[in-house]
Structure 1
């Protein structure tokens, strides 16, 4: 009973068992590790390689240049768009002005037709293919201004010809003199108004004119009329 005794050593952890990590935690950690490895593998195989600092700088400069070019091109496009709008507005304004001018010309032609109808007929209308309906000759010092109205009946196309004017008068000595002006080419449709001026000698006093319309110089007569000359001191 009182035999030899063995020494007893105190161990506070003797009664405790070693604990192991749970399986789910191990699987979770393993999943994390596999996920990270997969991401790294995908980056290495599929994604483009990482750029160096120098390459990144070059790309940034290229992007800045491209953005500046885009801004410049956009400004040029806006400028061209404004020019197109301005040209379009100007074209519309000109079209409106042209339309108004055409309407005014049609109205003027209609008014002229009415006015021509009121003119007295050519005394030789039955003999003339071209009627000399009216004419005015105004003598100035050294010149003779004229306006002549020609008409045709049932004109289907222009009638080509020339107009000749012979001016009869007296010189400073009282001698009768006749001057002939240069021929004027004509293309008479239903009506034609010819105006102009011819030079006269300073000492010549015109009295009357003989107007002739010919089919050509020295050709067949298409119309003739004698008209008096008005004078002025100017």
Structure 2
């Protein structure tokens, strides 16, 4: 037997009865990472449950959705109403502008037609006032006409102020009628007092009622200041009874 022999390698031969297996462990850092994630998620859930906003239930969420839809619909309706009002206002403004323009055109036309008439009136008043006496008001003309079968006299009086640039004059006229009563007795009746404001000329007209059966034959017209007692001027007119 040789002292130095060959070294023989041991060959691994699995046994049919051997059940032990070699297991691989997870790295420690990975285990710590998982634990941290779990703890963090749990903490977030706890904080949300304790201090976070309250979560809505399904019915509350549906109610909120319905209210939002209703509010949106009302806003759209109000917007539509507002637009309708705006359109109506624009239409009214356009119509008002058109009406104003039409009225202004009519006013301009009337002014054009009125100018010759005003010139004619100025010429007429100058002709009438020629030779008149102004104190400071003049009586240009007057007429008194009884109404048939009635105790009424219609009157017309034209007063003039000498200068059309003078300020307005406040005064009054008083008319005294002379005539006879049904019994034949003569008499006088002051039956008419009319206040006036005179610029350049003023026409006064109307009806005056006489005493029953009184037949006027003459009228005396006097002009006074508004608060005066002294007549500024007067004229007498005959009255023809029909």
1:98: Cα distance to partner?
Answer: 4.2
1:191 equivalent to 2:198? Answer: no
Partner of 2:223: 213
Cα offsets for 1:99-139 (capped at 9, x unmatched): 445555554433322222343756xx347432211111111
SS in 1 for 2:239: strand
Unaligned runs of 5+ in 1: 1-51
* Structure 2 unmatched ranges of 5 or more: 1-57
Q: Residues 58-137 of structure 1: matches in 2 within 5 Å?
A: 62-102=71-111, 106-119=115-128, 125-126=132-133, 128-137=135-144
Larger RCO (alpha carbons 8 Å, 6+ apart): 1
How far off is 1:216 after superposition?
Answer: 4.7
C-alpha contact 2:134 2:162 (8 A) present in aligned 1: no
Indicate if the aligned counterparts of 1:129 and 1:222 stay in contact, CA closer than 8 A. Answer: yes
Q: What residue is the counterpart of 1:18 in the other structure? A: none
State the 1:175 CA deviation: 1.8
* Structure 1 partner of 2:175: 165
Alpha carbons 1:183, 1:217 under 8 Å: kept: no
Distance 2:101 2:191 in 1: 47
TM-score normalized with structure 1 length: 0.63
- Distance of aligned partners of 1:120 and 1:73 in 2 relative to their CA distance in 1, 3 Å threshold: closer
Give aligned pairs, total: 179
Deviates more, 1:53-62 or 1:155-164: 53-62
CA distance in 1, matches of 2:185, 2:230: 31
Q: Whose radius of gyration is greater, 1 or 2?
A: 2
